Chain A
Amino acid sequence: MYKKGIYTVLSNEPLTPAVYRMVLEGDTQYIKHSGEFINIELEGKFLRRPISICDYDTTTITIIYKVVGSGTEQMKAMGIGTKLDILTGLGNGFSTDNDAKRPLLVGGGVGVPPMYNLCKRLISEGKKPMVIVGFNTASELFYTEEFKALGVEVYCSTADGSVGTKGFVTDVIREQSLEFDYLYTCGPLPMLKALYDATECPAEFSFEERMGCGFGACMGCSCKTKYGNKRICKDGPVLKREEIIW
C-alpha cells in the first residue's frame, strides 16, 4: 500500500559538498520496511525523483541525496517550509523476518542511507548488526558518526585510502576477518556483485534502475531474476541472493 501526500521540508543541509540531507514532515503510515523509497514531484520535471528512505518516524522522513543533475540541483535549493507532492510506501524493502543474529550492513556512497533505518530496526529486534561504509575518498564520507551513535561497530573503506581501509568494502571484510550470518547491502552495481561473490550467507541486495512511474505500472525498470521478471520499483529494489541473475 502506498499513498500520495503533501510533505513539508523541515531541514535541508549539506553533509558533504555534493550530498544533502532533507527532513520532510508528513504522513508516514504507509512506510513499512527499511529500504523503501519515496517519489518526489519536482516543478517543471515530468517524472518524479525516487530517493531511498534513510530514516523515518511517526511524523518525519529523512532522505539523503547526491546532487547529480537538474532535479537534485532544484532539491538542494529548497528552503524550510517548501511543500512537496510525494508518493510514499514504495518498493519492496529489506526483510528482517529471519533468524540472523549478527547481520552485516554494507553501504556504498549514496547506498549508505537506507542502511541507517535498517540498522536501527535490527538493533530494536535484539540483533547485533555491524556496518561497513564505502566511499571514494575522505571528503565524500558521511554518516559514520550517526552509525557509531547507534552503538554498532562501524568500518570504512575508501578507494584512495584517505580514511579507513584502502580499497573496497570487500577488503574490509577480509582485513578485519568479519564474521556475520546475514548480509544487507545497497550501493553501486560492481560493489553488489563483489559482495555477492565474496560471501555465501543469506543476503539481500538493493538495486537501482532508471524508473518511470516508481509504482509498478510502466514496466520501465524490469529485470530478469531466477523467479521470473521483476520490477525494480515494485518487486525490488531489494532482491534476495537466491533470485539474482548477474
Chain B
Amino acid sequence: MVKYDTSVELCGVKLDNPIIPASGTFGFGREFAEYYDLDCLGAISFKGTTREARFGNPTPRIAECTSGLINSVGLQNPGIDKVIAEELPHLREIFHKPIVANISGFSLEEYEECCAKIDKEDQVEIIEVNVSCPNVHNGGMSFGTQPESAAEVTRRVKAVTTKPVFIKLSPNVTDIVAIARACEEAGADGICLINTLLGMRIDTMRRKPVIANKMGGFSGDAIFPVAVRMVYQVANACQIPVMGCGGVSTASDVIEMMMAGATAVQVGAANLKNPYASKEIIEALPKEMERLGIERLRDIIGIVK
C-alpha cells in the first residue's frame, strides 16, 4: 500500500500537512477545539494582533455574497500583551503543532514592538506580518499597497526577530509581483497571499450599504481563482516560499494552489461555514493524492510553469 506523504517544510518548520487555518477565521482555536482535536492541523495562524486592544468596527460587519462573504471586523483583538499572557498559553494546551503569529499594525513602530514581543514566545514558530487588512484606516493595507512601504515594514520586523517572517499581502494592488519582490529583497522569509478583496454590498430595500463601514474584505470560494493567479505570479517571481490563501474549501483546491506554487495552504472563510472544514480537507487529501497520482505532496509545489 502506498503511504501518502502530506508533510511539507516551511523555512525549516516541519508541518505534518500544509493546512493552516487562516488568521481571523479561527480565533485562538478555542471555538474549534470544541469540535475536534486541533492537532490534525498543519499549523494555526491566530487572530490578527495589534499593540493595543481593539474593539474593531461598528456592526453590521458581515454581508453575505454569492459563494463568499464580506467582513469588516476591523482587527478586533485583545492586544499583544493579553494575547501573550492569556491566549498563547491556552492555545498551547489545546494545540501542539506550530503556531503562526499574525501581527498587524498602524505604524512601523507598532509592527516592530509587537514582533519583538512575539519573538520571545517559544511556541510561535512563524511570524506572519499583515500589511493587507482592508478594514482599518491609516494602517494595515496602506503598508502593503506600495513596494517601498512593504519593504520597510519587512526590514524593521526582520531586525527584531530571528523567527521566519512571512509578509501577508493584499490583492488590492496593481502589481503584486513588485510588492512581493520588494519584501523578498528586504529580507522576508516568505510571502502569504492573498488577504481579502475590497468589496461592498448594498441593501436595495434600505438603500444603504449592508456593512456599517460601507466596504469590507471579500473572501470565500469566489476569490479562489484570483488567489491561485497571484500565488502563481509571486511563486514564479520569488525564491522564498509562499503560503497560499483565498477561497480554499476542498482538498482539490489545496493541490491546485500547491501546483501554482504554494508550500502551505491556508483555509479561511470555509471554517466559518463549516467548523470542520480544515479537518475534512486534511482527511480528504490522501484520496485526492491517490486520484492524481501524487505520493509526496511537496513534489507538486510549483510544478505548473
Contact = CB atoms under 8 A, between A and B. Distances in A.
16 contacts: A4-B35, A46-B68, A47-B64, A47-B272, A210-B63, A212-B61, A215-B31, A217-B26, A217-B272, A217-B275, A218-B62, A218-B272, A219-B24, A222-B61, A223-B59, A229-B55
Contacts of B31: 213, 215-217, 234
Contact of A220 (B55, B73, B271): B73
Q: Output the residue of B34, B55, B275 with the most chain A CB within 10 A.
A: B275
A224 B55 CA distance: 8
Interface residues of B, number: 36
B62 A220 contact: yes
B27 interface: yes
Contacts of B32: 217
Given A2-B34, A46-B67, A46-B220, A215 B275 contact: yes
Interface string A38-66: 00010001111000000000000000000
A78 to B, nearest CB: 19
A87 B73 CA distance: 23
B64 A46 contact: yes
Nearest to B32: A217
A4 B62 contact: no
B62 A211 contact: yes
Q: Output the residue of A46, A209, A234 with the most chain B CB within 10 A.
A: A46
Interface in A207-246: 209-213, 215-224, 229, 234
A77 interface: no
Contacts of B61: 210, 212, 219-222
A222 B272 contact: no
Given A215-B275, A223-B59, A45 B27 contact: no
B275 A87 contact: yes
Contacts of B146: none
Given A212-B71, A219-B73, 19 more contacts: A2-B35, A46-B65, A210-B61, A210-B210, A212-B69, A212-B272, A213-B31, A217-B271, A218-B24, A218-B25, A218-B62, A218-B73, A220-B59, A220-B61, A221-B61, A222-B55, A222-B56, A222-B73, A224-B55
Contacts of A3: 35
Contacts of B271: 213, 217
A217 B26 CA distance: 6
A41 B273 contact: yes
Nearest to B271: A217
Contact of B62 (A216, A221, A229, A234): A221
Contacts of A217: 25-27, 31-32, 271-272, 275
Interface string B69-87: 1010100100000000000
A149 interface: no
Nearest to B66: A46
Q: Output the residue of B55, B61, B76, B221 with the most chain A CB within 10 A.
A: B61
Contacts of B26: 217
Please provide the 10 A-B residue pairs with the shortest distance between their CB atoms, ordered closest to farther.
Answer: A213-B272, A220-B62, A210-B60, A216-B31, A212-B62, A219-B76, A217-B31, A219-B73, A47-B64, A220-B61
A56 B237 CA distance: 58
B62 A222 contact: no
A178 interface: no
Contact of B275 (A1, A4, A45, A221): A4
Interface string A143-181: 000000000000000000000000000000000000000
Interface string A82-105: 000001000000000000000000
Given A222-B55, A222-B56, A47 B273 contact: yes
A215 to B, nearest CB: 5
Contacts of A87: 275
B162 to A, nearest CB: 31
B138 interface: no
Contacts of A209: 59-60
A117 B69 CA distance: 33
Interface string B19-36: 000001111001110110
A46 B73 contact: no
A45 B271 CA distance: 15
A210 B65 CA distance: 13
Contacts of B27: 216-217, 219
Contacts of B273: 41, 46-48, 213
Interface string B36-50: 000000000001000
A229 B63 CA distance: 21
A147 B4 CA distance: 59
A47 B59 contact: no
Interface string B172-199: 0000000000000000000000000000
Q: Output the residue of A211, A216, A220 with the most chain B CB within 10 A.
A: A220
A222 B210 CA distance: 16
A48 B69 CA distance: 11
Interface in A3-62: 3-4, 41, 45-48
